[in-house]
Structure 1
Amino acid sequence: MAQTTPETTLANGLAMPLIGLGVYRSSPEETVTAVSAALATGYRLIDTAAAYRNEAEVGKALRQSTVGRNEVFLVTKLWISDYGYDEALHGFDRSMKKLGVDGVDLYLMHQPMPNEWERTVAAWKAVGRLYEEGRTKAIGVSNFSSELLTDLIERTGIVPHVNQVELHPFFTQPDLRATHQKLGIATQAWSPIGGVMRYVTDNPDAAPSPLSHPVVTGLAAKHGKTAAQVILRWHLQHGFCAIPKSVNPKRIAENFAVFDFALTDAEMASIDALDTGVRSGPNPADIDTRKYPLRIED
């Protein structure tokens, strides 16, 4: 029997699983296999994006699975080339066509683009319309700072349900999390076990992966778990939604086997203390259509 995933309740009452599968940098062929393995294991949240160029393969895996569409919390994201009001509506329709679904459970704006803020605000208004029309059950943003969240809400009156951000033991974002708490925004962690440090980093001062830190490996040995399982348990106990990426069925299963142990308050605090305050992924303030000219094809 598949394990039931713990959930968090969004501000609108929607339940969102706290563990999901991310498919960033998964090739089309790998995506079908990974999503299929995740669903068979018990995962009920799948996170993709227009910019990942594997929405069609996620949709294929969903259709092939014996798990019903209504049992899966499906997330995708609007890419920056489709910011603007009409452009965002078109981008959503394109994603639904590729996924082969009528709507999603959570629709996110992929980046804030402070250098093209008017387009960002216009796109958020369009995303709000999609939510009002019931085409997505929840809406959110990704990589938004406290300041940009505040301005976005002041400009539109629409509060995101979720902000998906870089978050792992070496970059815990306590101030941003406090903003989320104040505004009723759920925290979703991309690169939850520090994968960004292995495959790309824009910051030469970024620390090595937390998977090899003695505090984490020591706790893994103590609990008879992997380092990744310890970190994912840390996310769960903080109430973060974590979306680890893997295309290895064995590792996908391992990443889900985190419900049969618990970290003590002292152990949680020891992981909290690893925070360096240093981002490893791209600085969202630097992202715009000039630096990232990728366009999504229909």
Structure 2
Amino acid sequence: MTDQATITVDGNIIPLLGFGTWQLEPADARRMVAEALRIGYRHIDTAWIYKNEAAVGDGIRDAIEAGHVAREDIWLTTKIWVEHFDHAGLLKQAEESANSLGFTPDLLLLHWPKATPPFAETIGALNEAKEKGFTRNIGLSNFPSAQFREAQGLSKARLITNQVEYHPYLKLTKLLETARELGSSITAWSPLAQGQVADDPTLKEIGERHGKSAAQVTLRWLIQQGVIAIPRTTKVHRAEESFDIFDFALTDEDMDRVHALARPDGRLGDWLDKAFEWDHEW
């Protein structure tokens, strides 16, 4: 395996391949975070609502104590839950998350956009969390382009990323353009479409030519776009497979064929507040 790819956003060097912990019970989160860091991952993603922040912190400490990694080489992300978007609630949860992790996160995200309280209050509190040292950087998750622009307009600090669902079956052209225009990035959750990519004939055929799996092709497709991908698994061999994507490259034709798999009904997880709507791509 060769050196992994990174993206630089507002002076921050972020590994394009991370390890996600959504739906991981604490024991699995601790075990798999430690294993992921042993394998070579240097980007870990969690959230307050996952109820595994303390376990993620334990896994990081396990890997550090085993000599696999140093804290300064890890990019660590967590998220503020929507019930804590008021000024006092956000600051309280930001401090709680840092304490649960046992580390200052590199990035603190708003988990979903919410109509109330006003964006100005929430974004102001998010910036204050950064100023108070509860996080090194701030960003968003699941924000459509209009709200992404509005949030950045209200934020003193750069919003480092917008973490959203993205995989071959979902078109994200407008949001990718918005991120570029705002000097930000896109992070893909459910990058493997909750396992659907494994049996896709197109992805399998491309993979066979490169000696790779459909999942590896998908992750390579994402990072070649400059998109951060955070697959998650409870199986060590799957984490190893997902990390083994730095020794090949997809051709322009390969990339176009994967893009062509997008479909209007491709979204798998939609908990967007009814006050907002996704970008129209079709």
Contact 1:112–1:143 (Cα < 8 Å) also in 2? yes
Q: Structure 1: which 5+ residue stretches go unaligned?
A: 199-208, 289-298
Is 1:34 paired with 2:32?
Answer: yes
Partner Cα separation in structure 2 for residue 81 and residue 135 of structure 1: 18
In structure 1, the partner of 2:269 is 281
In structure 2, the partner of 1:237 is 224
Partner Cα separation in structure 1 for residue 7 and residue 193 of structure 2: 22
Matched ranges for 1:66-215 at <5 A: 66=67, 67-101=69-103, 103-114=104-115, 116-118=116-118, 120-195=119-194, 209-215=196-202
In structure 1, the partner of 2:14 is 16
Partner Cα separation in structure 2 for residue 163 and residue 107 of structure 1: 11
Partner Cα separation in structure 2 for residue 108 and residue 156 of structure 1: 13
1:248 to 232, 235, 247: 235
1:257 to 244, 249, 265: 244
AA paired with 2:62? Q
Contact 2:95–2:134 (Cα < 8 Å) also in 1? no
Deviation at residue 275 of structure 1 after TM alignment: 1.0
Aligned to 2:224, the other structure's residue is in SS state helix
Deviation at residue 130 of structure 1 after TM alignment: 2.4
Partner Cα separation in structure 2 for residue 96 and residue 123 of structure 1: 18
Contact 2:138–2:157 (Cα < 8 Å) also in 1? no
Contact 1:194–1:211 (Cα < 8 Å) also in 2? no
In structure 2, the partner of 1:225 is 212
Contact 1:21–1:46 (Cα < 8 Å) also in 2? yes
Partner Cα separation in structure 2 for residue 117 and residue 179 of structure 1: 24
Counting aligned pairs with the same residue, the percent is 35
More displaced, 127-136 or 103-112?
127-136
Deviation at residue 73 of structure 1 after TM alignment: 0.5
Deviation at residue 136 of structure 1 after TM alignment: 2.1
How many residues align structurally? Answer: 271
Deviation at residue 152 of structure 1 after TM alignment: 2.1
Deviation at residue 6 of structure 1 after TM alignment: 1.1
Partner Cα separation in structure 2 for residue 274 and residue 242 of structure 1: 18
Aligned to 1:232, the other structure's residue is in SS state helix
Partner Cα separation in structure 1 for residue 42 and residue 152 of structure 2: 30
More displaced, 247-256 or 57-66?
57-66
Partner Cα separation in structure 1 for residue 274 and residue 21 of structure 2: 23
Partner Cα separation in structure 1 for residue 254 and residue 207 of structure 2: 11
Contact 1:20–1:45 (Cα < 8 Å) also in 2? yes
Contact 2:210–2:248 (Cα < 8 Å) also in 1? yes
Q: Structure 2: which 5+ residue stretches go unaligned?
A: 277-282
Partner Cα separation in structure 1 for residue 275 and residue 82 of structure 2: 9
AA paired with 1:64? D
Deviation at residue 134 of structure 1 after TM alignment: 4.3
Partner Cα separation in structure 1 for residue 120 and residue 90 of structure 2: 11
| RMSD between aligned residues | 1.8
Which TM-score applies when normalising by structure 2?
0.91
Partner Cα separation in structure 2 for residue 287 and residue 23 of structure 1: 28
AA paired with 1:144? F
Partner Cα separation in structure 2 for residue 284 and residue 89 of structure 1: 23
